[in-house]
Structure 1
């Protein structure tokens, strides 16, 4: 019963969802103030989800129903499970298991893959274009994400247990660790689908792209996945590169996300590919070499 409470309530699914909603509200409020708007009330993210869950699900006539409907659920479950494992490693370190870092890394890519499948299954041309863009984004930033993890793995002597990273000290304090941390910050923005890496959604270009055909509870599950990811990804970065997670470290990373979102234009998908493959990839390989040499 206690285990079920930890996974569903604290520090699991419900806790991550609530914190994610608060973080989303802060993000929207700051963005509004930057644009000289008042911004939403604090409970607006909750209102958004509640509104979606009382609306009707509308499935496109030619969509593959099973894939279209399953994608948001898979996204929500995988994001929630990743956040739960991360939360357990923070609040209950003894509950961790060897290799939980690898499990979390795999779980965090599933929401993006689910979004691709769901958009492709909708039989909408704009959604398919968004799915194509999202696929290219995943192929570009995931490699950099894993390179940053490899640097951390080398610097910690082969650690794969999240709860032990805080004991081992901040990986970002070394030269190679600092480079990997910088790479991870850029990758974090892409994983969260925030500007400048939001080409797959791009409301002004393709009307929401991957989300264009979703409505009602199915869109609600995608929304909740986004809230949870806004907690899980920065928390993971904090644990690995900043010597453990804390409220202060999370707030700093959230501020960096908001600053990047409000000070950058949207990149074209070709620009994203060039950035990750032709600039960040060589930098990441240099970081691996430096880590191997002990720097």
Structure 2
């Protein structure tokens, strides 16, 4: 019963979902102000989800029913589980376990893979194109994500426990840690599907890509997983690189994400691949070498 409470209520799904909705509102409000608009009311993210869950699920005639239906649920459950593990390391550090960093990192790969599955199962050319783009993005930014994690692992003495890593202090205070932190900031922008790396959705080009055929509760589950990731990913970065989680650290990271989204144009998929594979990855290798040398 206690485990179920942790996962469903606090620090799991309900808590992180509410915080994610608040973060999404801040993101939309700041974006509106940048564009000289008023922006949505505070409860707009909640209204959006409630509206979606009152709509009908429409499944395309030629879609693969099981894969199309399961994809949003897989994304939601995996994001919620990752959020629970991260939250446990913050609020109940005695419940954290060795290797929870690795588990969370793997869980965070599942939502984009679920999006690829849903897009491919939609039987829509634009959805398939978006799924193809998302697959290429995952193969590119995950390389940089693990490179940055490796630097943090070296700097913290080889620990893969989130509570222990937070106790080691701010990895970003070293030369190699600062480089890895900057790489991670770029990576989380792609991991969250934000501009300039939102090539899989690209509303003006492919009308939302993998999401194009989704509606009703299924789209609602995808949206809720995005809310959860908007909290979980920055908090994870804060723990690993900034010496722990905190409201101030999270707000700073959220502001960076929002500003980057509002001040950059969308890149082409080829530009994204070149950036991650041929520019950021060599920089990451340099950071690893510096970390091994103690810098």
Q: Tell me which interval the TM-score lies in, with the shorter structure as reference length.
A: over 0.9
- 1:1-295, aligned counterparts within 5 Å? 1-295=1-295
Task: Quote the offset at 1:2 in angstroms.
Answer: 2.6
| Cα shift readout 1:145-199 (whole Å, capped 9, x = no counterpart) | 0000000001111101001112111111111000000000000000000000001
Deviations 1:109-132, CA, capped at 9 Å, x for gaps: 100000001000001000000001
State the alpha-carbon separation in 1 of the partners of residues 84 and 202 from structure 2: 30
Alpha-carbon RMSD across the aligned residues, in angstroms, is 0.5
CA distance in 1 between counterparts of 2:51 and 2:200 reads 24
SS at the partner of 1:21? helix
SS across alignment from 1:20: helix
CA distance, structure 2, for counterparts of residue 48 and residue 164 of structure 1: 38
| Cα distance in structure 2, aligned partners of 1:122 and 1:166 | 42
TM-score of the aligned structures, taking structure 1 as reference length: 0.99
* Local SS of the residue matching 2:62: coil
Distance 1:207 1:198 in 2: 12
Which whole-Å deviations, capped at 9, do the CAs of 1:245-276 have from their partners, x for residues lacking one? 00000000000000000000000000000100
Q: What is the CA-CA distance between 1:3 and the residue it aligns to?
A: 2.6
Q: Unaligned stretches of 5+ in structure 2?
A: none
CA distance, structure 2, for counterparts of residue 147 and residue 289 of structure 1: 11
What is the rounded CA distance, in whole Å, between the counterparts of 1:34 and 1:169 in structure 2? 35
**Structure 2: how far apart are the matches of 1:289 and 1:173?**
16
For these two proteins, the number of residue pairs brought into alignment is 295
Query: Secondary structure of the equivalent of 2:221?
Result: helix
Q: Deviations over 1:182-241 (max 9, x none)?
A: 000000000000000001001111111110000000000000000000000000000000
